[in-house]
Amino acid sequence: MKYILLLLAIGVFQVSAVNWALLVSGSNAFYNYRHQADVCHSYKTLIRNGYSPENVIVFAYDDIAQNRQNIYKGAIYNQPNKDGFSENVYDGCVIDYTKTDVNPTNFLNVLKGNYDHLPDGHKFINSTREDNIFVYFSDHGSPGLIAFPTSYLYEQELIETFQYMYENDRYNKLVFYLETCESGSMFVNLPTNHRIYALSAANPYESSWGTYCPPDDIVNGKSLGTCLGDEFSVTFLENVDLGDFSQSLQEHFEFIRDHTLKSNVMQWGDVSFASDTIKEFFWGRRFQEKRKMCPKDAFFMNEENVSKWDSRDNKLLFYQNRYNQTGDLEDFIELEKEIKSRAYFDTIFGELQQSLKLTGDYHFALNQNCLKSVIETFEDKCTKLTDYGLKYVKLFGEMCDSTNLLQIQLNMIVSTLCMTE
Ligand SMILES: *[C@@H]1O[C@H](CO)[C@@H](O)[C@H](O)[C@H]1NC(C)=O
Ligand SMILES: *[C@@H]1O[C@H](CO)[C@@H](O)[C@H](O)[C@H]1NC(C)=O
Ligand SMILES: *[C@@H]1O[C@H](CO)[C@@H](O)[C@H](O)[C@H]1NC(C)=O
């Protein structure tokens, strides 16, 4: 009887409604292993839960599985396996946008359904007013932006895209889970009445953290030498994998918040539907004989005593750990390069802070055009911001919002930053 009702509910009354998901890893390089591991894990979780593959769109640079630093070629793991099984999440992970196609323009066009602006034949979200959308993004960020491998997505562009989707009836409800440093800053302007609900891994002032880092990165008896996941991400994914679809978005939030120990998980936007069950977003809405469970011993809940690394320090710790293990000259050189690069950013931004009398405690970027302009100028004249360097974007935000200087003067200041050395 229950089955028949379920069939009726899904097959007849909701025949046109589908769930869509957009899963994005914004980084590359092996020391950022964890972001692509999170994203392939999320893909496998949704497919296991009955999502149709054609409704899941994945962005990932795809340089991890075959990376020469990967001891398990062709495999990616998002959990260690001290006692038992760990799933190769790369196996069956269908990636739609790779390499330089992992960029903000494609990301926004996929959301808007602007298929004629996308590379030929690429998947996009062809959604209607009936459909729910789940967006998940894992990478680096800073106040007012999130990073893609070669460029940035600014908060204003994201909010404008949401506005477009709202006005053009592109969704019923949209849920966005975001894992980046200072991720809260992306949602401070999210409307509370547009059926868009978001969780950020961190508040606007702090880093997010990698987890299952060395020495808790053991798969099949060997250390992978990198963090396998991110704390917020593996917490939400491992919870969904437990299969409790009766919990509400609110309960899911509270669970994730209580188990993410290194950063403050926050809830944003339209919380009026926080009482909806997570099934509305993490389940494929297709009739399924029976959901395939994860092997029981795959579950390895992220714990307090698991090794975690601050995302901002990840590359430094990665090469420290690697050099400790290998003693190779090549790793030593990379380590020295990272130490020098961090010192360089500390110096030039220290000078910027001093010369403009910036507090360094400001974590917003309200003048988004100015922020974009100074970042582009800085990267053009000086150097690309690294995962560590992004921590100083807050000074650009403060400079743009609090000084009376003209844009051209601000651009002049940032373009000469690197000449003071
Ligand atoms: C989008 O979906 C509609 C049905 O909802 C379909 O008619 C249309 O062909 C699809 N568009 C593309 C470009 O696939
Ligand atoms: C964390 O501590 C608990 C209790 O002491 C222990 O059972 C568990 O194995 C530890 N986990 C790790 C990853 O060391
Ligand atoms: C590498 O070794 C040094 C010196 O023994 C130690 O201080 C450091 O904590 C180690 N780093 C890592 C990430 O293992």
Q: What is the pLDDT of residues 33-45, one digit of tens each?
A: 999 999 999 999 9
pLDDT one-digit tens code per residue, 357-399: 999 999 989 999 999 999 999 999 999 999 999 999 999 999 9
The catalytically annotated residue of 35, 140, 259, 363 is: 140
What does the block give as tokens for 418? 């690197």
Q: Quote the tokens at residue 411.
A: 């651009």
- What pLDDT, on the 0 to 100 scale, is given for residue 286? 55
pLDDT in tens, 127-168: 999 999 999 999 999 999 999 999 999 999 999 999 999 999
Q: What is the pLDDT of residue 12?
A: 46
pLDDT tens digits along 170-197: 999 999 999 999 999 999 999 999 999 9
What pLDDT, on the 0 to 100 scale, is given for residue 290?
47
**Whether 140 is catalytic:** yes
115 lines ligand 1 (CB under 6 A): yes
Average pLDDT, the chain: 92
Of 126, 128, 129, the residue with max ligand 1 atoms within 8 A of its CB, to mutate for a pocket test, comes to 126
Of residues 351, 420, 336, the one with CA closest to residue 392 = 351
- Give me the count of residues in the chain: 421
Q: Which helix (H) or strand (E) holds 331?
A: helix 329-355
Which of 417, 210, 416 has the alpha carbon at shortest distance from 318? 210
Q: Please tell me which residue in 181, 213, 227, 370 is annotated as part of the active site.
A: 181
pLDDT of residue 299: 55
Q: Which residues line ligand 3 (CB under 6 A)?
A: 317, 320-321, 324
**Half-sphere exposure at residue 48, Cβ-oriented, CA atoms within 13 angstroms:** 19
Residue pair 19/281 in contact (Cβ under 8 Å)? The answer is yes
The reply to whether 93 belongs to the active site is no
pLDDT reading at 4 higher than 60: no
Specify the residue with its C-alpha closest to ligand 3, atom 13.
321
Query: Confidence class of residue 312 from pLDDT cuts 50, 70 and 90?
Result: very high
CA distance 284 to 281: 8
Among protein residues, the one whose CA lies closest to atom 12 of ligand 1: 126
